[in-house]
Structure formats: structure tokens, C-alpha cells
Structure 1
């Protein structure tokens, strides 16, 4: 029975996430950004000092190098990202957030932090660890599915 309840909760969560993401898309449009661009800004924002390489971003987002290059170039034109070449190897390009990009990143990170805080509010440390382990397993399952899909292409 717990498994069926879990399936129902996951389905409901997926539906609600879709609704929230659609609202986020509407908000992002006001900033002249797509949701994919917001996600790219968040990925870039994970290393504010140094920035992230195109290769790092492609691996993290499960997309091609050329797709990342196109996205980063577009975000740079819009003023959200600054591109710099590595000093040692000019072929390596780093993407860093501009002040404008950091504002967008902060806005969406606050939402994610609020979501996480709300999920564990009132949980014991043990319950938090169980939830974290479950989400880790979900992520591993999804990563494995992505790898299988990529391998079958």
C-alpha cells in the first residue's frame, strides 16, 4: 500500500511542479528568459568566483557542448553572463554570472531553499536523512534512465 501511496504522491508532485514551472516561465518571460535559460543561470551560479566551463555545464545539464555554447552566447548577449577564456588554454571558456544574472539566480535559489525548508520543517534529523536518501535514490534512478536513453541513440 505504501508503494501505491508513493506513486500517487510522486504523480501529484510532478503535476504541481509542472504548474509551478509554468508560472516561473511566465515570470522569466518578464525578464526575457526561458525556463531553460534560468536553469542554465542556476548551473553557472554554482561557482560564482571562477565560473563554469562549457564542458561542466553540458555534463551537468545532460546536453551537448554546442547547445550549451548557444545558450551561453545568448545569455551573454542579454547581459546575464560574462564569458572569459582560460589563461592556460584559450580553448576553454568560462561562463560567469553578471550582476543581473546573479539577481535571477538568487530569486530562483530562494524558491528552492523555501521548498526544501518547508519539506523538512518539523522533521527529526533521522527523518531528514531518510528523505535525503530517498531523493538520492530517485536522482540515481533518473540518471540511470538518462544514461540508458543516451546509449540507445
Structure 2
């Protein structure tokens, strides 16, 4: 007979499997087969910054400027980012996400939204309220 922790483990294992399916679904919808987790993190960092320059991104990601330049060049070829020259200082370029870049950067959030939709479709309102109450207790 399973103890409560084993049962909880199996339950979460199933939940993570469903989340993985949701992530794969969002990934497929975007046609993103050749992007790495590291690249996704960089795009997320760009997305979270309002005005990100090459220097700022190097600082955030703890990389050298040449590494960032190489990565941004790859992203430009992948049509995930573009460079925008500062109107105040022509030496400064901002890194901006394209729509595709935003989709990739927000992939995790979108897959979680898809998971929530699946859960909402599987649970009635009372069960959803109970689940929210229980999960809010987890610290």
C-alpha cells in the first residue's frame, strides 16, 4: 500500500507530464525545434528588460560582450530579435524581440496557461477552488 508521500509524488509526476505535453504543444505550434533552453533564457531576459543593450544583457547573463554579440547575431538570423539604434546616441543599440522572439520568451508562461486550461476542463468549480486553496498553502 502506498503512503501519502508516494501518492503525492505520483500525482505530481503526472501533473509534470501533462505540463510537458502542454509545453511540447506550444513548442510545436511555434515551429521551434532547434532552440536551446539557454537561448530561451536569454530571450526571456531580453523580454523582461524594457531597454536592454548589449552591455546590459552581458551583465544580466554574466557573459562577455563578444559572446552576446554572437548570440544576438544568431537570434537575428532566427528572426527572434532585431537591433534598434538609440535616437539619442547613435553608438547605442537596443535589443528588441520580434513577435517570434516574444512567443519563445513567453513559452513557459503560455504552456502553464495551457496546463491551467486543461485543469479547468477536468475539474468542476468546487474542485478548482479547493485546489487553489491547497496550493496557496505551499511555501
Q: In structure 2, which of residues 41, 45, 48 is the aligned counterpart of residue 46 of structure 1?
A: 48
Query: What TM-score does the superposition give when structure 1 sets the normalisation length?
Result: 0.50
**Would the aligned equivalents of 1:41 and 1:101 in 2 still touch at CA under 8 Å?**
yes
| 5+ residue gaps, structure 2 | none
SS of residue in 1 equivalent to 2:96: strand
Query: What TM-score does the superposition give when structure 2 sets the normalisation length?
Result: 0.53
**1:107–1:127 distance in 2 versus 1, CA, 3 Å:** closer
How many aligned positions are there?
122
* Whole-angstrom distance in 1 between the partners of 2:119 and 2:94: 34
How far off its partner does 1:75 sit?
1.1
Return the index of the structure with the highest Cα Rg: 2
Matching of residues 1-153 of structure 1 within 5 Å: 1-18=3-20, 21=23, 24=27, 27-29=31-33, 33-36=34-37, 37-47=39-49, 49-51=50-52, 53-54=56-57, 55-56=59-60, 58=61, 64-66=62-64, 69=68, 70-83=70-83, 95-105=95-105, 109-119=109-119, 122=125, 123-124=128-129, 127-134=131-138, 137=139
| 5+ residue gaps, structure 1 | 59-63, 138-153
CA RMSD of aligned residues (A): 4.2
* Whole-angstrom distance in 2 between the partners of 1:79 and 1:22: 21
